[in-house]
Amino acid sequence: MQPPSFDARQVVGMVRKDDFAHTSDIREAFARHVSSRQLPPESSPLQLTVDTQPLGTGIRLTLTSAVGKLTGPATVTHKFFFVDRDECRIYHRTLTPEEPAATSEVLVLFEDGRDRDYCHASVHDGENRLLAVQAVVFDRAGRHVPYPFTSQYVCPLALDAADLRFTRDAQGRRVARFSLSLTGLTGPEHIAVAWEAVGVIHRTELVCTPEQPAVTHDMVLDDNPHLAPGDWVVIAVDDKDRLLAQTLVTLVPATGRPCRP
C-alpha cells in the first residue's frame, strides 16, 4: 500500500505569544496575520459576527460574515470547530457586491449534565486562507462571550523567532519545517511542537538550552500515512501547554507540484 503524499499551504501568518501582550481577544490577535490574496483586509475588510439563541434542548449558533468594498463575486467558507467534541461543521457561501454578507447556522445540543461549550467560528477565502476567527463560549440559556485568551495560556519565556517553511530534508523528502528559538534562557526548557487536526494530534517534545536556544521540527509531506487532507493547526507550547507560536496549514493530496508557501 502506497502511503499518501501531500501539498501544503500556510493559510495564516505565524501568530506569536507577543500578539497577546495587550489583548486576550483571539480575533484581534489573528487579524494581524491574515494573508488572503483574494480578500485582503486592507481593501476588502471583513466583519465576523457570532450569535446564539436557545432552541429546544440546545442552542442555535449563527455566524455572519460581511465583506466591505466587494468588487466581484467571491466564495467564502464558514467553519465551526467544536474543540471538545472533535467536530467541525463546514458551509460554503457565495458573496456578490449586491449581497456581500452571508450567514450559516448550526444546532448545538447539550449532553445531560453539561450546560456550556465553546467553539472556534472562522471564515476562509476561496484558497482556504483564514480571513477571521472568533472563539466563543456559550451556554444552554443562549448567552455567549468571546473566549478570553488570558496570560495564563501564554508562555512567559522570551520568544526570539518562529517560522514555518516548506523545504527538503537531508534525504530529499519534502517537509514542513517549524523553526523556533528562545532568548534569555538560564537553563534547559522543554517545549513541544504539535500538528493538530480534528481527531488527530502528532506531538514532538524538544529542548531549548542556553547553548542551543533554537530547535526545528520537520513534518514529512511525502509518503506519510499519519497525515490526511484538511486543516492542521501547527503549534509550539511550553511544558505547561502555554502558547509560544502557532499557524494554520492546509494539506491536499500531492499533485507533483512543489509545496506552496
Q: What is the CATH number of the domain that holds 93?
A: 2.60.40.1940
The pLDDT, as a whole number, for residue 256 is: 65
Task: State whether 162 and 212 are in the same domain.
Answer: yes
Task: State whether 11 and 43 are in the same domain.
Answer: no
Task: State whether 118 and 45 are in the same domain.
Answer: yes
The pLDDT, as a whole number, for residue 255 is: 86
Q: Looking at the chain, which runs of residues are DSSP E strands?
A: 6-16, 46-55, 58-67, 74-82, 87-95, 101-109, 116-124, 130-139, 144-146, 158-168, 174-183, 189-197, 200-208, 214-220, 230-238, 243-253
What is the spatial distance between Cα 222 and Cα 227, in angstroms, rounded to a whole number? 10
The pLDDT, as a whole number, for residue 57 is: 87
152 secondary structure, DSSP code: G
Q: Is residue 258 part of a domain?
A: no
Task: State whether 58 and 11 are in the same domain.
Answer: no
Given a cut of 70, the residues of the chain with pLDDT beneath it are 256-261
- CA Rg value for the chain: 19
The pLDDT, as a whole number, for residue 128 is: 98
Nearest to 122 by CA among 93, 164, 95, 151: 93
What is the spatial distance between Cα 47 and Cα 137, in angstroms, rounded to a whole number? 19
What is the spatial distance between Cα 74 and Cα 87, in angstroms, rounded to a whole number? 26
The pLDDT, as a whole number, for residue 250 is: 98
* pLDDT tens, residue by residue, 208-239: 999 999 999 999 999 999 999 999 999 999 99
Q: Which of 146, 162, 182 is the last residue of a domain?
A: 146
Residue 11 CA neighbour count, 13 Å, CB half: 26
What is the domain extent for residue 43?
A: 26-146
Single-letter amino acid, residue 23: T
| pTM, full prediction | 0.94
Q: Which of 117, 146, 175 is the last residue of a domain?
A: 146
